[in-house]
Amino acid sequence: MNDKYEIIEDSDDIPSNPTNNPCIDDLINARFSRRGFFKGLMATSAVVGAGIATRGVAKAQSPSTLTFKSIPQKITETHAVADGYDASVLIRWGDKVVADAPAFVPGQVDANAQNKQFGYNCDYVGYMPLPVGSQNSDHGLLCVSHEYTNAELMWSGLKDAMDASEEQALHEIAAHGHSVIEVKKTGGKWQVVDGSDYARRISPIDTEMQITGPAAGHDRLKTNTDPTGTRVIGTLNNCAGGKTPWGTVLIAEENFNGYFGGDIAKTSEERNYKRLGISQDSWYSWVKYFDRFNVEKDPNEPNKFGWMVEIDPYDPTSMPKKRTALGRFKHEGATVIINKDNSVVAYSGDDQRFDYLYKFIAANKYNPNDRAANMDLLENGTLFVAQFHEDGSLDWMPLIFGEGPLTAENDFHSQADVLIEARRAADLLGATQMDRPEDVEPNPVNGKVYVMLTNNSKRKEGNAANPRAANPHGHVLELTPPGGRGKDADHTASRFTWDIMIAAGNPAVADDKAVYHPAAESWVSCPDNMAIDHRGRLWISSDGAPKSDIPDGMHATDVDGPGRALTKFFFACPVGAEMCGPEFTPDGKTLFLAVQHPADGSSYDAPSTRWPDFQAAMPPRPSVVAVTKNDGGEIAG
């Protein structure tokens, strides 16, 4: 344990993996030690020994291809972006989404208004060009997920979300889900198109969704309000997400467990719910007012959450679809790549300490000329979980009913059971325990796959082979499919290789054992979301940087060449906020960023910032920011 930092225990991340499956840290340490990683023997990575000497200084000899000058890692009440760039607020919590939405009124409790306005805690941002299938970088749809709510920052006098009234609870429910807005760049500035026909709010108040795939209609999904097991109202805790090449958006249901309460021992799903962290200790007051959140009253309702949801933003009347074939766990997000044989591969992480990394291969192939034929590709396929080996290889193990331990002997009676309890199925297969997998994205330029592992302060101690006695800052893994670079990479292969690209932490703190390029200009803590620009460079957002030291924000680095792992700092969040999004337009000239929970840790009555309005009556408001270069050029180009 590094005592320099106060390790905040995430209440949303109580480990629930009961197995002794090998931990990724054990394997990383074996590789570090085997390859002399910490002795600087890696060809393209090295330990940064004596701090970020170059921070804030553009070094003429820097091998980085990123052309911006790093900004200081300094916490302030407002945001900051690199010189030569503009970061303008595009839409804030409470702003109008659908045509008849009322104006935001600070302190108001009004679920009907909220259900037409931009929700709270913007996380995933997907830019979808208009028209569908185009590369238009000046006009499109912005699809934004609203992960959760901070009651104490939304209204006066509330210390705990469990104290929220029924009216406030309804408002919170309406502030969850997703927003689709139409955006247009005119004269170099992005604006929301008022009264757009595409504008849509998706929320757990009233958005009906279809449950598709192998678990649809299963008895374990039948509830009081849906005896068919094929329908559900809404989606919960939508964290990161992804896009498909056929023009749909995938939004992930992450910490859905926290919305439910009641005694799980009174249900027939106790083992299942325990593994997902559902307990009496709900995080919200919703359970007090609405039966669906109480497992004693509607015991199967939690089985309708924890899925990936697919939305067609180009059709505002379309019904979102929960894709059970991708498994049920705490999905951080999912990103899709089309393999050279037109196979559809989706990578997804289960964001909890000691949980797993997954990929999905659709049963049917992608047809680049027929959007309609692609719309249900995620309905059927095979889910795999990763098992990492000390020799630098990893195996993708299929979760198929009837194979290996996934049989009636272990209480799996169908593929639906395997998917509903994907974590337990993966436990039995011996999947590798990870340090909270967040975004997982394939890089179309070099063909590799990048995995953000945000942190793990619960890792076992006393392992002599473990060079980091705890992992409060996380790391970035690089997976290499066989076949070659770019399109030659075979994402369907069952065996990949892996390596560590960045071991995050402060290089000035020896105990952190951080690993970057020696000329790194920023230090990363708690990598979370990511974007890959069209040159294949990695943009890393952070969530959970030690509040006494550095802000969360946006880092970027080359992945190949002499600037590999040379991190630079591009955007700083205001105090209390984490960095989400990030999303480029196809031309690389705009970077959309989501600033989530500004002023976190304070209250509505005494906020640590009133970002972004800075008006006395205005609370802090989670917002999406559009970043452009003042000269109109490509970001970091």
Greatest alpha-carbon pair distance for the chain in Å reads 66
Q: Which is nearer to ligand FEO, 95 or 332 (CB)?
A: 332
Q: Which helix (H) or strand (E) holds 518?
A: none
Number of residues in contact with ligand FEO under rule CB under 6 A? 7
d(CA 554, CA 570): 5
Q: How far is the CB of 35 from ligand FEO (least distance, A)?
A: 29
Q: For residue 351, state whether it binds ligand FEO (rule: CB under 6 A).
A: yes
Instruction: Candidates 276-284, 444-452, 500-508, 540-548: pick the segment binding Ca ion (CB under 5 A).
Output: 540-548
Q: Which residue is nearest to ligand FEO (CB)?
A: 239
Euclidean distance between the first and final Cα of the chain, in Å? 40
Contact pick of 25, 26, 543, 552 for Ca ion (by CB under 5 A): 543
Write out the binding residues for Ca ion, residues 516-535 only, by CB under 5 A.
528
With helix as H, strand as E and coil as C, how does 602-635 read? CCCCCCCCCCCCCCCCCCCCCEEEEEEECCCCCC
Site string for Ca ion, 482-521 (x = CB under 5 A): ----------------------------------------
Instruction: Identify what 552 binds: Ca ion, ligand FEO, none; CB under 5 to 8 Å per kind.
Output: none
Which 8-state DSSP code applies to residue 277? T
**Per-position x/- string for 132-171, each x denoting binding to ligand FEO as judged by CB under 6 A, each - no binding:** ---------------x------------------------
Which of these segments, 171-179, 275-283, 468-476, 541-549, binds Ca ion (CB under 5 A)? 541-549
CA distance 568 to 554: 9
261 or 553, CB closer to Ca ion?
553
The Cα 452–Cα 466 span in angstroms is 20
Q: Which residues contact 124 (CB under 8 A, 6 or more apart)?
A: 143, 144, 145, 238, 239, 240, 241, 242, 251, 252, 333, 529, 580, 581, 594
The 211-240 contact track toward Ca ion, x by CB under 5 A, reads ----------------------------xx
Q: Does 350 bind ligand FEO (CB under 6 A)?
A: no
- Within residues 528-557, the interface with ligand FEO by CB under 6 A covers 528
Q: Which is nearer to ligand FEO, 173 or 453 (CB)?
A: 453
* Contact indicator for 432, 387 with CB cutoff of 8 Å: yes
Binding-site member from 301, 312, 438, 558 for ligand FEO (CB under 6 A): 438
575 binds, among Ca ion, ligand FEO, none (CB under 5 to 8 A by kind): none
According to DSSP H, which parts of 477-624 are helical? Answer: none
DSSP 553-576: EEEEEBSSGGGBT--EEEEEPPTT
Secondary element (H or E) of residue 33: helix 24-35
By beta-carbon proximity to Ca ion, the closer residue of 395 and 438 is 438
Q: How far out from the chain centre does Cα 286 lie?
A: 24
Which token pair is 359?
């990929």
d(CA 251, CA 307): 9
* Residue 351 vs 499, nearer CB to ligand FEO: 351
Query: How is the chain split among helix, strand and coil, in percent rounded to 5?
Result: 15, 30, 55
3-state DSSP call for residue 283?
Answer: coil
**Which amino acid, residue 467?**
P
* Contacts with ligand FEO, 312-341, as mask; x by CB under 6 A: --------------------x---------
Nearer to ligand FEO, 506 or 541 (CB): 541
For residue 530, the minimal CB distance to Ca ion (Å) is 10
How far is residue 79's CA from residue 74's CA, in Å, rounded to a whole number? Answer: 10
Verify binding: residue 452, Ca ion, rule CB under 5 A: no
Q: Which of residues 238-267 bind ligand FEO (CB under 6 A)?
A: 239, 254
From Ca ion, ligand FEO, none, interface partner of 254 (C-beta below 5 to 8 A by class): ligand FEO
Interface residue list for ligand FEO (CB under 6 A): 147, 239, 254, 332, 351, 438, 528
Interface residue list for Ca ion (CB under 5 A): 239-240, 438, 528, 543
